[in-house]
Amino acid sequence: MKIKLIIPPTVCGIAAFKLPYGAAVLAAHLRKGGHIVDFVDLSVFNNGLSDRMYAKKKGFVDIGALKNNSQIEYCLNIKKKGGYLYHAFKKWVLRQEWSGYDLVGFSIQSYSSFLFASLMSRIIKESTSVPIIMGGPYLILFGDIFFKQSIACDYMLIADALTPIDGLLESMQGRRSIESVPNLMYRKNGRVFSNTRKRYPIDRIPNADYSGLDPGIYNAPRHPSIGPHFGFRIPYETSRGCAFNCSFCGFCKNHPLEIKSIVKVVDDIKLLTETYGSRWINFVNSEINISNDYMHDLCDAIIGSKIDINWHSYATPYRLDRDLIDKMKESGCHSLYFGAETASNKLLRNMNKPFLAEEMESVIRWTHNAGIETRLFFIAGYPHESENDIKATLEFIKRNKFYITSYEIAHFRVEYGTDIFLNPAKYGIRILRPNFMNPVKWCYEFDEINGLKWKDKVKEIDRSYRRLSQVLEPKSRISLLVDGLKSKISSLCLNR
């Protein structure tokens, strides 16, 4: 069968520098099964000027002017009045070939990409009857609340795609009942059905196949805020799910922890670097150091295999020691991303983080001293965050500025499916209503029980964000300049 896989645009810059890992794994699986897969990645045409120029040159839709979901929703809703976005996407859809395709799939990364996919699906359905399926990491988190909204979408994947895809294709050919295909939502006789979920064995997941995409597009210095590594980075997943249960994170809820065997990881990475000619590996799982034993073994295997890579990953400070950090460096670790969130131990405990501020402080110093760059993530305005909590974080940042290469601060949001959403009283909040303004996540407004009401809390979240930004900002500007220079040199040296 012939399948077109589309990665829709998104107003969130985060997706735009990444090769589409999940869609490429699905493509590999389908191609192995003898199917033809064509890729279209529209997420590379994003906010940055270079993307907008590239989009114009290639005749793609320029979405650079759209800044948030309300603008997209507005554009979607004024279809009858001839909205800009509808006509722009219609032109794009009419230029594409749709005949001969048996299925069109959208890989969804964020709420805005879901909105764009919904719009494009509606337009595609105006001129063709090709079935449309949506899947991807965002729908694994939020799909069960979105399927009803996206009326042009025939099927939605609410868990991993490899388990159901063959069954779905068989059912479309009349060789299997749709009811027996796991991980799928579908419509029948005007009703929505949701099938049971089933996992695909992690060690059988094929290596991503990016044939049909131009890796050069992902090579540009498009998003300086992400960090200094502007080379073409190959995403790879060593595990799924997470060992921890942070209150604000849905990652741990959608999949139990599964880890790939070390042999598979090393073989896959070797093949990817040889196939695509880049030495940069971006581990896209939750925390690379799921356990110290696993991490020691993985580093030993990478060092022993002599694959010469530079890698980045999220990591947890939990039980990370100096010996292991040194070994990570030896295996090619270039930077580690830590979800620090706050330096208030009271809030860290409430968030269910597995470490305290003192452990985090030691780890980022050891990491820096080992020659590994550190990127820290902070959360501003967690429920019941007090002046003392903010001060603890400000002091922590001042003390450790020298060891923090770059950072990111997020406004606190209650996301659908997280522990704080499912058990709000446990965390001292009361959920009110959805708030669609965040371009990435499906969030909810809330009141603090015996604390601030939402209209004051949202101001407090902003205030906390500004205070953290102010203490981090001067370092970040300098480091971005230095990083910009370093990146130019390293991309010249490392991607030669």
Binding site for ligand SF4 (CB under 6 A): 242, 244-246, 249, 251-252, 286-287, 316, 339
Q: Is the separation of the CB atoms in 111 and 134 below 8 Å? A: no
Looking at the Cβ atoms of 171 and 313, the one nearer to ligand SF4 is 313
CA distance 324 to 193: 48
Q: How far is the CB of 246 from ligand SF4 (least distance, A)?
A: 3
User: Which C-beta is closer to ligand SF4: that of 181 or that of 242?
Assistant: 242
* CB of 64 or CB of 250, closer to ligand SF4: 250
Q: Count CB-CB contacts under 10 A for residue 186.
A: 21
Q: Considering the complex, what minimum distance in angstroms separates the CB of residue 342 from ligand SF4?
A: 12
Q: Return d(Cα 364, Cα 406) in angstroms, integer.
A: 12
CB of 328 to ligand SF4, least distance (A): 17
Own/partner long-range contacts of 291-296 (Cβ < 8 Å, ≥24 apart): 291/243, 292/319, 292/320, 292/321, 292/324, 294/259, 294/262, 295/324, 295/327, 295/328, 296/324, 296/327
* Residues comprising the chain, all counted: 496
Q: Between 86 and 251, whose beta carbon lies closer to ligand SF4?
A: 251
Work out how close the CB of 134 gets to ligand SF4 at its nearest, in angstroms, rounded to a whole number: 23
Structure tokens at 350: 């409430």
Closest distance of CB 111 from ligand SF4, Å: 19
Dihedral class, residue 482 (left if φ above 0, else alpha if ψ from -120 to 50, else beta): alpha
Asked if 404 and 130 touch (Cβ cutoff 8 Å), the reply is no
Q: DSSP strand E in 130-279: where?
A: 132-135, 155-157, 184-188, 191-194, 233-236, 239-240, 258-259
CB of 339 to ligand SF4, least distance (A): 5
Q: Which is nearer to ligand SF4, 117 or 351 (CB)?
A: 351
Give strand ranges (E) for 129-255.
132-135, 155-157, 184-188, 191-194, 233-236, 239-240
Q: Which of 326, 291, 120 is nearest to 134 (CA)?
A: 120
Q: Minimal distance in Å, beta carbon 412 to ligand SF4?
A: 13
The CB-of-279 to ligand SF4 minimum distance in angstroms stands at: 26
* Nearer to ligand SF4 among residue 109 and residue 150 (C-beta): 109
Token duo for residue 198: 């089933």
| 256/304 with CB nearer ligand SF4 | 256
Measured from the CB atom, the residue of 51 and 287 that comes closer to ligand SF4 is 287
